[in-house]
Structure 1
């Protein structure tokens, strides 16, 4: 079973994303900040990281750039997930190394399809 690390500070959003992915057959791990995500990544390497842009402390953009620069995490696909929906936000997310950029509120079918494509990659 593929494992997805969900980095999301809004509990309701994290719950919706988590349940959607679990129903599709994925195991999920959750973190509410970049710092907590780094601690989880030190313990377990997921098959994909779903990363909110707006987080307490370090932003999702910063964390994505950092993860893509580390040998242990550079090959884990990152999906940015945010209410920030301008073309510049999407461009910037992809420039940081994200494999995809989803807009909130999340469309469950789109989320599952994106994660399945990237995990099977």
Structure 2
């Protein structure tokens, strides 16, 4: 069974993502800040990271860049899910190394489909 780390500080979005992924048969780990995400990933390597941009402490963009530049985490797919949905935000997220960028509110079917495609590639 695949495992996703959800990095989200909004309890509402966190609950939606957790329920959506668990109902799709994906194990879920949770972090509510960039620093907590990095600490979690060093202990447990998830199959995919679902990452918000606006987080307490370091931003999702910073977390993405850090994970993609380190050899032991660079292979982990990252899906950014953010209210920052402009073309420039999307461009910047992908430039930081994200494998996919979904604007909130996220279509749950699209989220699950995107995650499955990234895990299975």
Quick check: TM above 0.5?
yes
Cα deviation for residue 12 of structure 1 reads 1.1
- Does 2:40 match 1:64? no
Cα shift readout 1:62-82 (whole Å, capped 9, x = no counterpart): 110010000110000000110
1:67-111 alpha-carbon deviations (Å, 9 max, x no partner): 000011000000011000100000000000000001111111101
1:9, 1:67 → 2: CA distance? 19
> In the comparison of the two structures, how many residue pairs are matched?
121
- Please list every run of 5 or more consecutive structure 1 residues that lacks an aligned counterpart in the other structure: none
| Equivalent in the alignment of 1:109 | 109
Determine the C-alpha separation between the residues in 1 that align with 2:36 and 2:28: 15
* TM-score, normalisation: structure 2: 0.98
Q: Measure, in 2, the Cα distance between the counterparts of 1:105 and 1:18.
A: 15
Aligned partner of 1:20 in structure 2 is 20
Give, in whole Å, the separation in 1 of the partners of 2:65 and 2:74: 9
Determine the structure 2 residue equivalent to 1:98.
98
Aligned-pair Cα RMSD in Å: 0.6
Alignment-derived partner of residue 6 in structure 1:
6
Pairwise CA distance, 1:18: 0.7
